[in-house]
Amino acid sequence: MRNRIYLLLVLFLSAGLLLVACGGTENPGEEKAGTEENGDAASGNGEASSDYKVAMVTDEGGVDDKSFNQSAWEGIQAWGEENGFSKGENYDYAQSNEQAEYMPNITRFVRDQYNLVFGVGFKLKEDIQTAAEQFPDANFAIIDEEVDAPNAASVRFKEHQGSFLAGVAAAMKTKTNKVGFVGGIESPLIKKFQSGFIAGVKSVNPDIKVDVQYAESFTDPAKGKLIATNMYDSGVDVIYHSSGGTGNGVFNQAKDIKKNDPEREIWVIGVDRDQHDEGQIGEHNVTLTSMIKRVDVAVQDVINRGMKGEFPGGELLEYGLDENGIAVAVTNKEAMTEEIITAIEDWKEQILNGEVKVPQTIEELETYLNSL
C-alpha cells in the first residue's frame, strides 16, 4: 500500500514537471518573437525619422514673398508631407519682421529641440554663425550665404548661370533693344544676377542697352513700381528683377501698362521661383519667364542628408545647372517661342561643357564683354 502511494506521488510530480517544461518552452519562444518585432520597429527608419524636426527662419521678406523664402518653405512642407509629418510637430517656420527677431527665432527652435534650423537669406549670416557656435549640438544651414562652423551647412546657387539664360530670353524678346535689371539691395549676391544677365543679353546682341537700378530694399513694392515706371517710359520692354517683394511693384506696373494698352508688348522676368501667376492680367500674362533657384530641392537635399546621419556640416553646397538647382521657366508658352527655347538650350549646353564661363562679378563681366 505504501509503495502504491509512493508510485502515484512520483507519477504526479513527473507530470507536473513535464507541463512546466512544455509551458516554459512555449512562453520564451513567444517573448523572443515579440522582442524581435519590437526591436525591428525600434531600430527602423520610422522611429528615427519621426524624431527629426526641421525649422526655418525667414528674413523680412516673409514666408509668402513669392521668392526664396516661399520656395524654401515649400521644400520643407513637401518633405513633411512625404514623411506624413504635420506643421508644428516636425516642421515649422518663424517669420522675422525685422533683423532684431532673427536670433530670438533661431534660439526658440533650438530650445524646442529642432534638429536642423535654416536661416533663409544672406541677412541671417551673422546670427546663424553665432547660433552654430553657441549651440554645437544642433545643426544649422544658411541659404544664399556662407558660415564657418562644423555644425552648419552653407547653401548657395549658381544664379549667374540662370541669369545668363534669362538674359538670352530678354535679348531675343526685346523689340526696342532696351532691357532693364532691378536689384534689391546692392550686394555681391545680387551682382551675380546682374553680371550673368548682362552677359547673356550681350552674348546675343552686344548693341542692346541694359538699364540697371537698385531699390536698396527687398520689401518695397512702391519703389519697385517707380523704377519700373521710369524704365518702361524710357523704352525698356523687358525687365529682369532680383528684388524679392520689391519685384511685386515691377509686376504691378507692367500689368497696369498692359491693362491700359493690351497691344503693347511689355515683359517681366521673375526670379527665384516661377512667377508666372504674378504676371496674369485678364487673358494676358506679362511674365516672359523666371530664373528659378530650386531652393526647395536644395532644402530637401540637406534635410534628407541630416535624417540619414550624413549632415554636411562645414560644407559649402552649390546648386547650378548641373545639379538641377537652376532653371528657367517655360510656363508662358505663347511668349517663350520655340526659337527662344532652342537658343536657351544651346547656350545652356555651352555653359555645361565649359565653352562659356559665365561671369559672377562686375570685374569678370567686363573681361567677358571684352572677349565678345
- Angle at CA of residue 190, ends 189 and 191, nearest 5°: 90
The mean per-residue pLDDT over the stretch 342-348 comes to 98
> What pLDDT, on a 0 to 100 scale, did the predictor assign at position 101?
96
The average confidence (pLDDT) of the chain is: 88
Length of the chain: 372
138: pLDDT confidence band, cut at 50, 70 and 90?
very high
> Is the pLDDT confidence value at 170 over 70?
yes
Between residues 9 and 91, the one the model is more confident about: 91
The mean per-residue pLDDT over the stretch 22-38 comes to 34
> What pLDDT, on a 0 to 100 scale, did the predictor assign at position 17?
38
> What pLDDT, on a 0 to 100 scale, did the predictor assign at position 3?
43
The mean per-residue pLDDT over the stretch 82-95 comes to 95
Q: Where are the beta strands (DSSP E) in the chain?
A: 54-57, 91-94, 116-120, 139-143, 152-157, 178-183, 209-214, 238-242, 267-272, 280-281, 284-285, 287-293, 316-319, 326-328
**Prediction pTM value:** 0.78
Q: Which segment of 45-49, 198-202, 332-336, 349-353 scores lowest on mean pLDDT?
A: 45-49
The three cell numbers locating residue 202:
550681350
Q: Which amino acid is at 200?
A: G
The mean per-residue pLDDT over the stretch 256-281 comes to 96
Residue 315 vs residues 143, 160, 182: alpha-carbon distances, Å: 13, 21, 31
Question: What homologous superfamily is domain 159-293+337-371 in, according to CATH?
Answer: Response regulator (3.40.50.2300)
68: pLDDT confidence band, cut at 50, 70 and 90?
confident
Q: Which segment of 16-25, 181-190, 211-220 scores lowest on mean pLDDT?
A: 16-25
pLDDT tens figures, 261-273? 999 999 999 998 8
> Is the pLDDT confidence value at 256 over 90?
yes
357: pLDDT confidence band, cut at 50, 70 and 90?
very high
- CATH 3.40.50.2300 spans which residues of the chain? 48-157, 159-293+337-371
> What pLDDT, on a 0 to 100 scale, did the predictor assign at position 81?
95
> Is the pLDDT confidence value at 89 over 70?
yes
The mean per-residue pLDDT over the stretch 151-176 comes to 98
Q: What is the CATH number of domain 48-157?
A: 3.40.50.2300
